[in-house]
Amino acid sequence: MGASYAPAMTNSPGMTPGPQVADETKPKKPWFTRWWVWVIAAAVVVGGIGSALGLGDDDEDLSASEPSETTAPEPAATPSEDPVEDVTEEPAAEEEPAEPVEEEPAEPEMSLSQENAVGDAQSYLAYSGFSHESLVTQLEFEGYPREDAEFAIEYLAPDWNAEAVESAESYLDYSSFSRQELLDQLLHEGFTPEQAEHGLAAVGY
């Protein structure tokens, strides 16, 4: 048997229409009525206001940070070659002549008598006060010629003022003396008046 086909149902005039099948596809809403569109729009508006408020500061920062295009960079300074100064050698300062070194006089050669006279004179001066004349007399008493005695005294060069002080102190240690008595005694020893007065002043007279 061959296949049988049912006749298609058509709405013809005078016929009661059958139940209509509802169209499952709903009409779409316009895009601007959707909620996420408004959220994005609000975010864009807020961001634009914030950008407008901070635009001035950003421009100033950018202008400060960006180098000025109108100012041309200064060319690097090239080291200038200083002219070489002529070095003129100054004449050497004249050296001052060295001062002559004073040579100490050589000690005179002494004879045996002179050498011994110096030794004895040094011992007497260490023992007590002597004037020039009394020391010569003492050395002559020891048997030295006057020339050797004078040589020894000149060689030692005693301080006669100090000898007068030492002699005055020795007299006062031995006995009591008035000023005049002590002055007469020092003069008798051979001290000059100036040396004797120096000795008296030193002991308190």
Residue 26 to residues 22, 36, 88, 91: CA-CA distances in angstroms? 10, 20, 112, 119
What's residue 43's pLDDT?
A: 76
**Averaged pLDDT of the chain:** 75
Residue 111 CB neighbour total at 10 angstroms: 11
Which pLDDT band holds residue 106 (cuts at 50, 70, 90)?
A: low
What's residue 28's pLDDT?
A: 57
Q: Nearest to residue 151, comparing CAs of 136, 137, 134, 133? A: 136
What's residue 123's pLDDT?
A: 95
Q: Does residue 57 surpass a pLDDT of 70?
A: no
Amino acid letter for position 174: Y
Q: Nearest to residue 171, comparing CAs of 153, 159, 197, 189? A: 189
What's residue 196's pLDDT?
A: 96
SS3 assignment for 57-75: HHHHHHHHHCCCCCCCCCC
Q: Where are the domains of the chain?
A: 111-158, 159-205
Q: Does residue 15 surpass a pLDDT of 50?
A: no
Q: Per residue in 36-51, is it b (16+ CB within 10 Å) or e — as a string?
A: eeeeeeeeeeeeeeee
pLDDT digits (tens, 9 = 90+) for 25-49: 555 555 555 666 667 777 776 676 6
How many CA atoms are closer than 13 Å to the CA of 11, on its beta-carbon side? 5
Which one is predicted more confidently, 50 or 129?
Answer: 129
Q: For the domain covering 159-205, report its CATH number.
A: 1.10.10
Which pLDDT band holds residue 8 (cuts at 50, 70, 90)?
A: very low
